[in-house]
Amino acid sequence: MRRNDSTAPNPSEGHRHFSFARRRLVDPYKNPGKLWTPSVCPQCNAIYYAGRWHWGPRPAAARETTCQACHRSNDNFPAGMVTLSGTFVRPNRAVLVRAAREQAESERRERPLNRIINIEQGEDRIVVNTTDIQLPVRIGEAIRRTFQGTLNRHFDEGGYLVRVDWHRDA
């Protein structure tokens, strides 16, 4: 008898891939009820319509409500963190930050709630904090594909937080 468990591994995915879609994860910043449609975020001007957030012109009858991405940014409470570390970081800091920003901007065009909160830079380390759990994985994968190195991912279900660590020494 096969066990029907949402946390059971999917053989077609392999053990190294995250599958957030298979689990019922609840973002504590997500509005628990349905929003008035249309609604607009007064900070970023994203429009909530037909059950999701979009970019577009502001509807005349829209109610204002802060989206969860702006709420997370205001609270400086990330859902995802990408840490780039190693001796490779210092001489390549600008190109690594640009790669992270380009990936985030590409994602943000289609998904207004997926964005960077801030980027913290240290001597041999960069930390990119994001508003969602998918963007850090995409940033980490894009940087690993481009610059090689090692990539580790950890998801804390209790805290609704994903940590992606990329490391490369020169």
Per-residue pLDDT tens over the stretch 128-162 = 999 999 999 999 999 999 999 999 999 987 778 99
Beta strands 80-85 and 161-167 are parallel
Q: What is the mean pLDDT of the chain?
A: 86
Taking the domains of the chain in order of start, what are their residue ranges?
A: 26-73, 77-167
Per-residue pLDDT tens over the stretch 7-51 = 333 333 334 445 544 455 677 788 777 888 899 999 999 999 988
- Which contacts of 54-61 are long-range, i.e. CB under 8 A and separated by 24 or more positions? 54/112, 55/109, 55/112
Chain centroid to CA 65 = 21
The pLDDT assigned to 157 comes to 74
